[in-house]
Copies of this chain bind each other. A is one copy, B any other.
Amino acid sequence: MTKQAPVDKRRIILDAAVRVFARDGFHKCRVSDIADEAGVAYGLVYHYFKSKDQVLDTLFLERWEVLLEAIRHTDALEVPAEEKLHAIAGFIIDSYRHDPDLMKVIIVEVTRAANSFGAVHIRKIDEAYALIRGVVEKAQQRGEFRSEIPAQFAVMSFYGAIEQVLTGWIFGLLDEGEDAYDSAKAHIVQTICGGLAA
């Protein structure tokens, strides 16, 4: 007789929330939908989280921390800047490939609605920008990237391009599929680094 893996209801609730938020949207869904989806009692959501907002916060912060770590790790590598950007875009796109619901929630409900939430989220998001800016600035110092374009704008273009592609997938405006994911990584980086001009 093997010992049963202990069930972490907190985790179950978070995972259920991802599905519900992705399906119905944060504002349209009810807390009871989350509880139902998780198969737990209504009140248990409030046992683990102070509010509906906090469920979303937790989801975002958990994942965003992983993203920040990935960017930091990438930044530390001894590779060309272009390769770093490829790795970062790749990480974000793979996050979507691996768990599209979670990324949908993060982009649609948090990243693109960050003003509704406290300044905490905006600061976290800015942390990611700052890390990527570091990558660009170092590349500019090393002469890999040209310096006419302020790093801040470069970052916005890069990150904006990625998020827009994900949004295209989320809204069904862009074809999805295994091939699409990999080519998206390449094309975004090609565009941002090489430019569209012939």
Contact = CB atoms under 8 A, between A and B. Distances in A.
Contacts of A171: 114-115, 122, 125
A7 to B, nearest CB: 21
A94 interface: no
A196 B112 contact: no
A176 interface: no
Contacts of A131: none
A56 to B, nearest CB: 13
A168 interface: yes
Contact of A173 (B28, B112, B126, B146): B126
When all copies of this chain in the complex are counted, the total is 4
29 contacts: A28-B116, A113-B113, A115-B171, A122-B172, A125-B171, A125-B173, A129-B173, A144-B197, A149-B196, A150-B183, A150-B187, A152-B174, A152-B175, A153-B184, A153-B187, A153-B188, A157-B164, A157-B188, A159-B164, A160-B160, A163-B164, A164-B164, A191-B192, A191-B195, A192-B195, A192-B196, A193-B195, A193-B197, A194-B197
Interface of A: 25, 27-28, 82, 108, 112-116, 122, 125-126, 129, 136, 139, 143-146, 148-150, 152-154, 156-157, 159-165, 167-168, 170-175, 183-184, 187-188, 190-198
